Chains A and B, each alone.
Chain A
Amino acid sequence: MTTVLETEDLERQFGKLMAVDGVSVSIDSDDVTSIIGPNGAGKTTFYNLLSGRLDPTGGSVKLRPRDGTELVDVTGQTPYEINRLGLSRAFQINNVFEGLSVIDNLRVARISRTDRSLNLSDIARSDPELSEEAREIIEMVNLEGLEQTKCANLSHGDKRKVEVALALGTDPTVVLLDEPTAGMNATETERMVNLVEEINEQTDTTFVLTEHDMEVVLGISDRVLVLDNGALIADGTPDEVMADERVREAYLGGEL
């Protein structure tokens, strides 16, 4: 068991609102961890603090770098710097480079990962290594055959796969997925769940996800964190969390 991501008393205040209120968690590399909570519980803000999109007003974020053993304090660093250390993120809305083909999307991730961006002489069409790496990831997420398709022309489910592929494309230690099954039909949802489970087994990548669909959460997670009004109110296995009184009250009470 190894801690790959840790927050201590993490806080973010917007005016008078405490969007994230003293959250301390440590994410273990063996687990698929889900973060749940009612709308407005602070899940997205929490993600934004982890990925560097927002600076916290208090507390700290620590990340285990790709090629290190010690946790490194990344509080206040830019998304670009945090990604370089090994954390990547996929969004709730489709966030892919729409005008680029599937394989070019993945090439961009690989170029960024391997620092080849400024090598003008490195003509990527004849850079077999880069294309090979991009293809491996495309196979991993089962998008074979769509390499040359422009992302704008993909189905919703396939776009989400490209997004997951992009997140994986920078060899992350931790991937944050934001509602990976949002807007998907039952078949697509099942495929996405299987995909995350497969990749989790095949690679060293640790998955953290937010999810609304409780069936997905209970099926996929080893560990569930519950946020309510910005605070962490429960933390444990899916069974433990479902049995928790406060969780039933705060979360399921409103929904069931």
Chain B
Amino acid sequence: MVDPGLLIDQLITGISIGSTLFLIAVGLSLIFGVLEVLNFAHGALYMVGAYVVIVTINDFPGGFWVGVLLATLVVGLIGVVIEMGFLRRVYDREDLDQLLLTFAFVLIITDSVRNIFGSGSNVVDPPALLRFDLTLAEGISIPGYRAFVIVMSLVVMGAILLTLRVTNFGRIVRATSSDREMAGLLGINVPRLYTIVFFIGAALAGLGGALVTPLQSVTPELGNQVIINAFVVVVIGGLGSFTGAFVGAYLIGIMIAVGSLFTAGAGQLFPFVALIAVLLLRPEGLFGGVEA
């Protein structure tokens, strides 16, 4: 029998892992939902976000928070360059070409970062403001920074849902995601909208990568590690569904954390078992086919 205290600890860890997974999966899902592009480079963008924080802390004044802000902006702008300079030219081709193009960016970005910063790992301390433990109940506590990341993931989810449901921009995004040709015929500037959506998706990857730095050591391989789990999350949740990405991320996070209680390595096994089960029983994903 598993010790209940340990189980609760692992549940909290799982939710914490889930919130970082959500921050990467949500941008992936957004870009797929609107542009119908499976962005392999999303993990690499996430990793760049983490390096922007490290560079800011080491070489510029301002520290962690400025780094997070810069990471969001810089990675968003890299996204704009990728979309306007390259991706835009292959929308009309088959999916494989788009996939290969984003994969090329994975290689280019990962190797560039390795070239500049080396392949050693970097560690970042949580900002001083959040260096405390939050006591939830007797004997159960959570590091302040982890709690902050969980709150951030909820804030991002809330902001995205609110934007999509009640703003004009959100209506245009939903309409274009439902039928891009019809949107164009109605006078919506679809190419511009694509660039904006790619910017937002990439910026979210940058934000996610920046926020994960105090939780995980940063290497050029960071992107490749997270992209697999991010794909598992969006496939389980349903490609293009934000609610799906949200629920999927927390499910996977909890599976990883609680699963590792049973046997060593089981943590990484459960997400893939879940993936296979979803693909067999409900290929559209738990929330697939439902509009955001």
Contacts and interface: CB of A to CB of B under 8 A. Distances in A.
A and B associate in one complex: yes
A107 B163 CA distance: 15
A179 B189 CA distance: 27
Contacts, number: 95
A169 B168 contact: no
Interface in A188-238: none
Interface stretch (A2-10, A22-30, A80-88, A246-254): A80-88
A60 interface: no
Contact of B166 (A118, A124, A166): A124
B187 A83 contact: yes
Contacts of A124: 166-168, 171
Interface of A: 51, 53, 78-80, 83-84, 88-89, 91, 95-100, 104-105, 107-109, 111-113, 116-120, 122-125, 127, 130, 166, 169-170
B184 interface: yes
Contacts of A122: 167-168
B266 interface: no
A84 B172 CA distance: 16
Given A97-B175, A100-B178, A112 B186 contact: yes
Given A99-B174, A108-B171, A130-B168, A80 B189 contact: yes
18 contacts: A53-B181, A53-B185, A80-B184, A97-B175, A97-B179, A99-B178, A99-B291, A100-B174, A108-B188, A109-B186, A111-B171, A112-B172, A112-B186, A117-B172, A122-B167, A127-B168, A169-B186, A170-B186
A99 B117 CA distance: 46
Contacts of B186: 83, 88, 108-109, 112, 166, 169-170
B182 interface: yes
Contact of B187 (A80, A98, A107): A80
Contact of A100 (B171, B181, B189, B190): B171
B172 A111 contact: yes
B169 interface: yes
Contacts of B178: 97-100
A88 B184 CA distance: 10
A122 B141 CA distance: 41
Given A98-B178, A107-B171, A108-B175, 18 more contacts: A79-B181, A91-B182, A96-B179, A97-B174, A97-B178, A100-B291, A104-B171, A105-B175, A108-B172, A108-B188, A111-B168, A111-B172, A117-B172, A117-B188, A117-B189, A124-B166, A130-B168, A166-B182
